[in-house]
Amino acid sequence: MSTLAVIPARYGSTRLPGKPLVPIDGIPLVLRVLDGVRATPGLDEIVVATDDGRIAKIVRDHGGKAVMTPPDLPSGGDRVAWVAERCEAEIVLNIQVDDPFVGPDFISPLVDALRADASCPIAVLAKRIDREEEIDSPNVVKMVFDRSFRALYFSRSRIPYPRNAATDYYKHIGPYAYRRDFLLSFMKWEQTPLERTESLEMLRVLEMGYPIRCVPCGRDTIEIDCPEDVAACEERLRSRRAR
């Protein structure tokens, strides 16, 4: 099954303007993400989808492929779908530009999950939460799934509620893997009530009756949303070099 990886990279950001170009330990964020995706074997095409010529230039100068998308597209998912409409790949990956630690161990398992289960149109990563403060943070998307690793619900609240002995909590991180035809249909659907309530796109998939494959992930990442995240990311990189 042919595979396309798209990195949507919008210049504008309320909390961190020009985020894709922000240097992370001297390397622009978008290039760190691009190199992490490039390290993944078996991808047929990798595209950075952007609305800004500066981002496109730095990607092309780095030997990558950049596509200029319409500036009025409302979300990263819309940019991914815009690119997917113009290709014939069977599996399309949405790789977030805010994840400088993305790599093959985040991407390949999602592709493998869709190849192994023809009934699932989308696969996401599930990481066990290790830090207590994340469980009640509305910025961390929690998830619960059944014994077959199919999603039951996503929430910004603590789920499940610990009425009795607490269980492990899981969060969604990293990329999304879609079957192309499903992605193109999904992006045309109206928002659903639960999605509007929690502002989570995956709830639209569940409300429309489609399954989501949850793939356990062994390591965490740092998503770049504000200057403090940049500092935390650079500290982790320094710690890695010191080992």
Q: Which among 141, 143, 152 is positioned nearest to 223, based on CA atoms? A: 141
Residue 13, pLDDT score: 77
Residue tagged 């607490």 (tokens): 166
Residues 80 and 150 in one domain: no
Residues 32 and 82 in one domain: yes
- 140-182 pLDDT tens trace: 999 999 999 999 999 999 999 999 987 899 999 999 999 999 9
Residue 151, pLDDT score: 98
Residues 90 and 114 in one domain: no
Which pairing describes strands 170-179 and 142-145: parallel, antiparallel, or unpaired?
antiparallel
Residue 166, pLDDT score: 75
Residues 13 and 68 in one domain: yes
Residue 239, pLDDT score: 86
Q: How many domains does the chain have?
A: 2
Residues 212 and 109 in one domain: yes
Residues 215 and 110 in one domain: yes
Let me know if residue 132 belongs to a domain: yes
**Angle at CA of residue 221, ends 218 and 226, nearest 5°:** 165
**Angle at CA of residue 176, ends 241 and 191, nearest 5°:** 135
Residues 114 and 211 in one domain: yes
Sign of CA dihedral 187, 190, 195, 196: positive
Domain that holds residue 10: 1-99
* Spans of the chain, pLDDT less than 70: none
Let me know if residue 211 belongs to a domain: yes
Residues 115 and 187 in one domain: yes
Let me know if residue 226 belongs to a domain: no
Q: Which among 121, 60, 131, 127 is positioned nearest to 99, based on CA atoms? A: 127
Which of 73, 99, 125 is a domain's end point? 99
Residues 108 and 94 in one domain: no
**Could you tell me the pTM of the whole model?**
0.94
Let me know if residue 201 belongs to a domain: yes
233/218 Cα distance (integer angstroms) = 18
Residues 94 and 112 in one domain: no
User: In this structure, what CATH number is given to the domain that contains residue 68?
Assistant: 3.90.550.10
